[in-house]
Every structure is written in C-alpha cells, then in structure tokens.
Structure 1
Amino acid sequence: MNLLQVKTIIANIQKIKFRNIYFMLFAPGKRSKESVILTYGNFFYGLKSSSAINIHKGSLILNSDFSKPNPFMGVLKMYDNSELNVENGFVIHAPFHIVINHNAHLKLGSGYINRNAKIRCLKEINIGNNVAIGEDFTIWDSDSHIIKGKENETTQTTVIGNNVWIGINVTVLKGVTIGDGAMIAAGAVVTRNIPAGVLAGGVPAKVIKEKIEWK
C-alpha cells in the first residue's frame, strides 16, 4: 500500500464498494509507485493467486460510470498464470465482461473502451496506445471450439495497433491485426487483417477508404 493508493480510495470512496478496496490494494501483480487500480460501482472479480495485473505507467480504471447511480456490473476473471498488462493507463467503462484464460496475456496500451465490452483472451490479445473503442465491443482470440482438421488454427494472437478508432458494435475475431491509425466503422465484423491508416467496415470488414486520419 502506498500514499497514492490511499489518496485515490479516499477521493473516490462514495463510488467504491467495500469489497473492491481489497482488490485495489492487494490484487496480484507488479505496479509502479505512480500507478493505481481504481474500480467503481458493482464490480465482480475472480483472480487466481498466480494471475497478475501489471501496470507499467498510469492507472487502470475499471467500471467507470456514465450514469449516476451506476446500475451496471463489471466482471473480471483471471485464471492460473494469466496476465493483464497495462502500459500507459487505461479506462474500461461499465459494464464489461473480461475473461483471461490459463497462461493467457491481455495487453492494454492506453486509451479507453466504452460500455458493454466483452473480451475473451485464451492466448494473447494486444491493444495499443491511444485507442478509442466504442460501445458493444467484442474481441476474441479463439474459436473456443475445435474444427476437425484445423486444430492448430483454433486460437491465434489478435492485435489492435496504436491510435486506432473503433466504432460501436464492432466484433474483432481471432488472428486479426488492425494497423496503426485505422478506423473501424460501426457494426463491422473484423475477420482479416486491416492495414494501417484506412477506414474499414462491413461484414466481413474490408477497406472502404485509404489514407485517412482521425483525432
């Protein structure tokens, strides 16, 4: 426990459930002296002792609320030897449902994910820096069920690059890489790699416009 953690809890005490204080202070993992975990409202967690939440810089804010009082629940489940690694500070708004499987790694660079996120990490998901991800976002790195003859393709690393903007109701599937600076239109289902600096959309998602920038 450090002074920053104590100050953060005191400043936000009206929005923190008592059981979450233990999580904020003692969740397994390594965090810098300038980093904290902050959880708001109805937050459920299940962490194995060998799991780890590591924060290199900045803070991890979970279940941040848009409405007051916040009726939504955030869920984080981490299994044996799983890791959640935060590079530069990240916010996930309420509600959300995140599962990190045995030996799996979820990396969050910096930015935010809006309401109703569903993340299923069975091996490795990497989300870059300065990302803006809209509501009803789903990302998987696995089919979960095995297709006969394609056993080696069931689970594949999924990557979202830096400075990526993802619209509402987007699904990103296994083995996909979304390049730096890309924009993904609302309602897209991303089943293949998306180059850097393009606008992609549709089901399945394809490039709509090249050489785009956003801010």
Structure 2
Amino acid sequence: MAFTNTRHTVKRFDSEIDSLIEQVLEMGRAAGQQVEQAVTAFRAGDIELAQAVVAGDDMLNRRDLDIDQACIRLLARRQPVSTDMRLVMSLHKAVADLERIGDEAKTVAEKALAIQARGGALHKGVAHDMDCLAQVALQRFVAARDALARLNIEQAWELVRQEKDPVEEAFQDSLRSLSVLSLEGGPMVATIIDVVLAFKALKRVADHADNLAEYVIYIVEGQDVRHTG
C-alpha cells in the first residue's frame, strides 16, 4: 500500500492530503539530519555545529505547529472517514514524535556544549560508544520513517515485533563502559552525567521511531498496537 494508491473524487482533497504527507516526510528528514549533526558535534566537540543544532530546533517547532494546524483544517473541512481519518490522525501524532526527536537532538547538542564549556574532552571509548548507539538508533529511525513514507506494513511489523532491542543493548553497553571508565579515574562527574543524558536522548530517538512504526500499522490495518508489548 502507498499513499497515492487511493484517489478521491474531490481532487482538492487529494492535493491537501499529498501536501500534508510531504510536509510530514520533509520534517522527518530534517529531524534525522538534526540527530546526525548533534552526534557529530558531540563526538568532535564542534561548538559551532552544536549551536546550529540548538538553533535548528526552532525550525522543527514551527513545522510542528504548521502541520498541526493543517491537520486540524483538513479534519474540519473534509471530515474524512475510515482509512483517510486514520491517516490524518496518525500523521498528526507522527509530527509530535518528530518534534520530540528534534528535542532529543537538541539535548545531545546542549550536552556537547556543556562539556566543551568546562574544557572537557571525550575519552575515545565514549566517542566509540556514542557512534555505536547513534548508529543503531538512527537505523531504527530511518527504517520507521521509510515504513511511514511507503506505508510498508511488513517493515513496520518487523520493527514492532523485534524480540531483541539493539538500541537498548547498545545503551546498556555504553553505560557499562562509562561506569568502568569512571572507576578508572576518567571524566569528571559532571561530564559523565552529560554523557549519560546524551545517551538517553539517543535511546529516546529510537523510542519515537517505534511510535512511527505503530502508526503505519494503525493506518493500514486499523490496529492500535500501542501498549500491547
């Protein structure tokens, strides 16, 4: 199933739906870019890039508000039913998750700035763990975003039904490595806290990605699989 498979007799409705979909997918691309840049800034201690990520969060917030209003207008004017209703409502929810993904990217960037302000430097082990966690979290997000873009129900179910959570495993591995490093007289306590918060932010990116996959299932099959795990 794809977004464009079902056309309506009112072409204006199709145009509004297409515009809404494209806005959501573009916001998804922007949110992913924010996360990627935040991770790069964190690892490299790039102050300018971290500041750009923080500033860029305003753009995602504006898109959230704009798309939210577009969804409300579409519901009020067209009063969609069945799959169309599920589609609009799910896109409305997806935008909220994308906005929160932007918030998580901002958190990573802010922690990078805090570490640099103290004159800190990341231990190479921390940078490695950040890479590993970011990779699996972004893979989950990209897969969920792709499933939403194509309404790929098989891909959505694959994400929802994963028996082992690679993001959780990478997160726990990162915490264990960090605890060993702290016992060896590694980073100061404030830096360790910032690193942990950055790791948690990346883990939450994957949590929001899971929500996107659940919305795909709801759109296509009408099943609300939230809180069923």
TM-score above 0.5, yes or no: no
TM-score between both structures, scaled by the size of structure 2: 0.20
Q: Rg bigger for which structure?
A: 2
Greater relative contact order, per chain length (Cα 8 Å cut-off, separation 6+): 2
TM-score between both structures, scaled by the size of structure 1: 0.21
Looking at secondary structure, tell me which structure has more strand per residue: 1
